[in-house]
Amino acid sequence: MVRGKGCRYGSHRVIEPKGILPQPALRIDNTMEIYDNEVLIDVSTLNIDSASYTQIRKACDGDAEKMKAMILSIVEERGKMQNPVTGSGGMLIGTVSAIGSEYPDKKLKAGDRIATLVSLSLTPLRINRIKRLDPDSDQVDVDAQAILFESGIFASVPTDLPEKLALAVLDVAGAPAQVDRIVEEGDTVCVIGGGGKSGVLCCYQAMKNVGPYGKVIVVEYSKENARRIEEMGLATHVIVADATDALEVYRKVTAITGPRGCDVTVNNVNVPNTEMTSILITKGQGLIYFFSMATSFTKAALGAEGVGKDIELIVGNGYTKGHSELALNILRESAGIRALFERLYV
């Protein structure tokens, strides 16, 4: 059933409060009858945002059944997968089921396998059943349906990579693409949380950009992840430290950089209270890219002011032009990263 043409940004789906767009809305319409400028997707896997999944796992004490119930409850209440604590969502992979007659991309057809590149925090979603959930993996297999708005971007699932591998990378594709944009040859870069999925991709891109005279410093909480970064040659220096301890990290980073600090800091940590760490280790008039959805931008802005740092603060926009192809190409270029991600996500 087609219901007429809706707003290209999806505002016609907002139930509460009226007058805003789907992402900040508390509740949206997740009935799966499409408007004539929407796409209906049969969803096979949700890739839940790392900050959100970490919060859900912690709240449920790592119990898979409790986590399933919590995810179902969120979607039932909101009509979308938007964690009420972190505000973040994730993305999905699935098969195009139906396309509205006025949907503008005429190349898309029923049966295509796609990954959405817009957040689950704004995507109408209905989950019939959670088929598989592993507390240690943020990919959740489902029997579900979702709606893609006219303005929603997506990527065709590549044929040369396993689907779940592609999904894992596309979920964080904006991070390495932004690093490519902001890191220059000779820079000193710190990647906080460099051992995670987005962190590894950022490290690779940063090493590529800084060249032989730059530095890439990784701050990683997990000793195992830190060892892996060293073995894969994804950094020039690796620090094992708790990123919420700003002064400890500051001392360890400036022991490498000197008091000036880093030109660019990339924050990929999936826990709160790492804003001041990023600020202290970054030079005046340097740049911080907060990709982490656990970031409080109030803490970041007022914290920088509080310590007298004139620093450019960039919000982790998940979309950067050309981001999907750049991120997938990292897997094609780096056998080590591909092998790691296949072990973790496939």
The type of residue at 61 is D
User: Tell me: the pLDDT tens digits for 283-324?
Assistant: 999 999 999 888 898 999 999 999 999 999 998 877 788 899
User: Tell me: the pLDDT tens digits for 221-274?
Assistant: 999 999 999 999 999 999 999 999 999 999 999 999 999 999 999 999 988 999
Q: Which residue do the tokens 């820079």 mark? A: 187
User: Tell me: the pLDDT tens digits for 65-107?
Assistant: 999 999 999 999 999 999 999 999 999 999 999 999 999 999 9
The pLDDT of residue 124: 98
The type of residue at 107 is K
How far apart (Å, rounded) are the C-alpha atoms in residues 309 and 301?
10
Phi, psi of 298 (to 5 degrees): -65, -50
Quick check: helix, strand or coil at residue 85?
coil
Look at the pTM and tell me if it is higher than 0.85. yes
Burial bucket for residue 109 (CB in 10 Å: 0-12, 13-18, 19+):
exposed
Domains, the chain, with CATH or none: 11-157 (3.90.180), 174-345 (3.40.50.720)
Compute the residue count for the chain: 346
Q: Are 38 and 150 in contact (CB under 8 A)?
A: yes
Give the mean pLDDT of the chain.
95
The pLDDT of residue 292: 83
* Cis, bond preceding 17 (omega within 30 deg of 0): yes
Phi, psi of 206 (to 5 degrees): -65, -45
- The DSSP letter of residue 213 is G
Q: Are 180 and 257 in contact (CB under 8 A)?
A: no
The pLDDT of residue 2: 52
The token duo for 261 is: 């600090």
